[in-house]
Amino acid sequence: MDYLEIWEKAKEELKEIGLPYSMWIEPLQPVSFDNNNMLLVTAHALAPQLIKSQHNDKMLSALKHATNTDASYKIFYDEDYAQKYQKEKKKELLTRKKQPTKEEIMMNNLAQMQSSANLNLKYKFSNFVVGENNRMAHAVAMTVAQNPAKKYNPLFIYGASGLGKTHLMQAIGHYIIFNKPKLKVKYIKTEEYFNELIKNLQTGGNDKTNRMDKFRQKYRNVDVLLIDDIQFLESKTFTMEEIFHTFDTLHNNNKQIVITSDRLPKDIPTLPDRLRTRFEMGIMVDLTPPDFETRVAILKNLAEMSGINAEFSVYEYIANNFVNNVRELEGAFNKVSAFADIEKTDLTLEFAKKVLKCEEQSKQITIFDIVEKTAKFYEVTVDDFLSSARNQKVSNARRVAVYVARELTKMSFEAIGEYLNKKHTTMLYSYDKIKTDMKTDRELENSVKEIIKQIKG
């Protein structure tokens, strides 16, 4: 029997689940059946977790009956497939005689809206764990979602990489699509916007003006524009100009704008004042690394979503070892659970340790460690660091410490500046200088590596 037949047979049995069957199971596309493992593709980002957590037993039993073996299965979400599926589904709805059910229409409409808005189904408020580090940002984002273009416009969310900016921004989009379906939402990464713009500009031909008009309309003809990672604009003057006009058009027409960035507008070099003041005119909220409790809560939420059960000490172990970046925190958990899945073992602390091999001491790196180790490396004192001494040796050591602090702790430039008793612009300059110099100065690069090694211990 080939995999298509197996899946057809299994589907017969799965139909009895009722409505969830037509929503989640029926759209699954079989890809292969190897080593007793059925590989399926889905167009719904949430389907893999949802099926695993709610219909796992049914899936396993249907596959068992269809194959007469203890077959397992794996479901992948695939964007290309998602697009193709949505197109076909739409065509089918349009052409077939039978009236689609209300649920089908609703699901289809939502899927359509979500994919045209460019959102990832995982990034919703319901999947966002609130802790001290993001309480304010979450509350403001929720207010914006409930009152688009009424209260805070623009909303500017900033913070280091992997702390939930994109998640929070898209959660606003999902909320509006679900609750105010008349509003048109668009999510765009600044880098993709830039690439699209360049492509439009570089292609010649007579319809260039036309094309540019279309391009502009696409982003100016919406009710909610979500612009992710605006720091990418740095020095891209033409794109800045476009964003500037798009911003003004939307803002003047009372449309909501949400922007994310890994730093404050004033820390994006070469951002012109007229853009900076616009970005600052609404509200600015920051995201910082989550504390231990929040990290554990994020992991438990992730496990619940994926229908995974782990020993509590596994969450603690991972939360202790991945402190500054939620993406890495989640990555560690996903790795452990994928390995456990493959080896068909329970998720125990021992297993997690074997997979992740984190160094045992897992202390959080503090700015003090960094200053101390860097000072020692360059044979200066900690007092020199905090003083206003400007001799080359001290200045250089100080700049390296700023660079390392930013790399290892993701502290803001303000926070580093506060500690070192210096202006945040100086901190920013120090960071950029070391980063640039390291590209050409091998000795500096090695020193930085050595210092980082010593700090990590």
Q: To 5 degrees, how large is the angle CA 86–CA 338–CA 290?
A: 90
* 330 contacts ligand ADP (rule: CB under 6 A): yes
* 200 contacts ligand ADP (rule: CB under 6 A): no
Question: What's 198-254 look like in SS3?
Answer: HHHHHCCCCCHHHHHHHHHHHHHCCCEEEEECHHHHCCCHHHHHHHHHHHHHHHHCC
> Both tokens of residue 446?
């090695």
- Between CA 280 and CA 255 the distance in angstroms is 16
Q: In the window 403-442, what residues touch ligand ADP (CB under 6 A)? A: none
- Between CA 227 and CA 372 the distance in angstroms is 39
Which span sits near ligand ADP by CB under 6 A: 12-20, 162-170, 398-406, 427-435? 162-170
> Both tokens of residue 216?
């502009």
Which of 69/126 has CB closer to ligand ADP? 126
Q: Which of Mg ion, ligand ADP, none does residue 180 bind (CB under 5 to 8 Å by kind)?
A: none
Q: Which of Mg ion, ligand ADP, none does residue 298 bind (CB under 5 to 8 Å by kind)?
A: ligand ADP
Q: What strands lie across the sheet with 29-34, from one edge to the other?
A: 29-34, 37-42, 72-77
What letter does residue 347 receive in the DSSP assignment? B
Cα distance between the two ends of the chain:
57
CB 235 within 8 A of CB 193: no
What letter does residue 264 receive in the DSSP assignment? -
Q: Which of ligand ADP, Mg ion, none does residue 407 bind (CB under 5 to 8 Å by kind)?
A: none
> What's the closest the beta carbon of residue 165 comes to Mg ion, in angstroms?
5
Residue nearest to Mg ion (CB): 166
Q: Which of ligand ADP, Mg ion, none does residue 337 bind (CB under 5 to 8 Å by kind)?
A: none
- Between CA 91 and CA 87 the distance in angstroms is 6
- Between CA 396 and CA 393 the distance in angstroms is 5
Q: Which of Mg ion, ligand ADP, none does residue 222 bind (CB under 5 to 8 Å by kind)?
A: none
Output phi, psi for 221, to 5 deg. Answer: -105, 45
Among 114, 166, 294, 337, binds Mg ion (CB under 5 A): 166
> What's the closest the beta carbon of residue 298 comes to ligand ADP, in angstroms?
5
# residues near ligand ADP by CB under 6 A: 18
Which span sits near Mg ion by CB under 5 A: 76-84, 165-173, 180-188, 418-426? 165-173
Among 166, 246, 288, 324, binds ligand ADP (CB under 6 A): 166
342 backbone φψ class: left, alpha, beta (φ>0; ψ -120 to 50) = alpha
> What's the closest the beta carbon of residue 170 comes to ligand ADP, in angstroms?
8
Which span sits near ligand ADP by CB under 6 A: 12-20, 145-153, 326-334, 439-447? 326-334
What contacts 47, CB < 8 A, 6 or more positions away?
Answer: 24, 27, 28, 75, 77
What letter does residue 183 receive in the DSSP assignment? S
> What's the closest the beta carbon of residue 297 comes to ligand ADP, in angstroms?
8
Which span sits near ligand ADP by CB under 6 A: 164-172, 263-271, 309-317, 334-342? 164-172
Which span sits near ligand ADP by CB under 6 A: 3-11, 158-166, 369-377, 415-423? 158-166
> What's the closest the beta carbon of residue 119 comes to ligand ADP, in angstroms?
12
Considering only CA atoms, which of 160, 167, 183, 49 is closest in space to residue 119?
167
Q: In the window 169-188, what residues touch ligand ADP (CB under 6 A)? A: none
What letter does residue 259 receive in the DSSP assignment? E
Site string for ligand ADP, 111-150 (x = CB under 6 A): -----------xx---xxx----x----------------
Among 82, 144, 171, 298, binds ligand ADP (CB under 6 A): 298
According to DSSP, the residues that pair with 74 across neighbouring strands are 39
423 backbone φψ class: left, alpha, beta (φ>0; ψ -120 to 50) = beta
> What's the closest the beta carbon of residue 294 comes to ligand ADP, in angstroms?
7
Which span sits near Mg ion by CB under 5 A: 60-68, 103-111, 137-145, 158-166? 158-166
Residue nearest to ligand ADP (CB): 164
Among 43, 113, 163, 371, binds ligand ADP (CB under 6 A): 163
Which span sits near Mg ion by CB under 5 A: 163-171, 263-271, 410-418, 426-434? 163-171
Q: Where along the sequence are the contacts to Mg ion (CB under 5 A)?
A: 165-166
